Amino acid sequence: MLISFNGSYVNYRHLTILCDTMTNRGHLMALARHGVDRNDTGPLMRCSFEGTADILLDAAAYAESDHLKGVTENIMLGQLAPISTGLCIYLYDQMLQQAVELQLPSSLDFGSTPARSPVSGTQ
């Protein structure tokens, strides 16, 4: 798809994301600071769009907290964003907290090499 005023290429996925953002609440929402800023996001995400000072002052006045779950908020604070390898580390830590230690019977002594394991056929 080409933008008509200067002929730039725009992938249709960008337009799809815009349409999804505008309609995800069941009604049309403006793509201006008075529409997008009403999303259920933290103050850092909202202030990254427009009206930074007003949004941050309101957030401070009402003691809003930001859970830093998005890419934008983490980039603002110089932290690793919760995507790709940053997300894998988080999930790994969470899985370790819920892990259950397994007790193996003493008969399953695999020795020091894979060749001595019971599944290899040689004991």
Distance of CA 96 to the CA centre of its chain: 20
Query: Are 21 and 45 spatial neighbours (Cβ–Cβ below 8 Å)?
Result: no
Read out DSSP for 34-69? Answer: HHHTTSS--HHHHHTTS-HHHHHHHHHHTT------
pLDDT tens digits along 45-88 = 888 877 889 889 999 999 999 988 888 899 999 988 888 776 76
Q: What is the CATH number of domain 33-98?
A: 1.10.150.390
pLDDT tens digits along 105-123 = 766 665 555 555 555 555 5
- Structural domain boundaries in the chain: 1-31, 33-98
State the pLDDT at residue 60: 94
Instruction: Give CA torsion, residues 6, 34, 40, 19, to 10 deg.
Output: -30
114 φψ region: left (φ > 0), alpha (ψ -120 to 50), beta (else): alpha
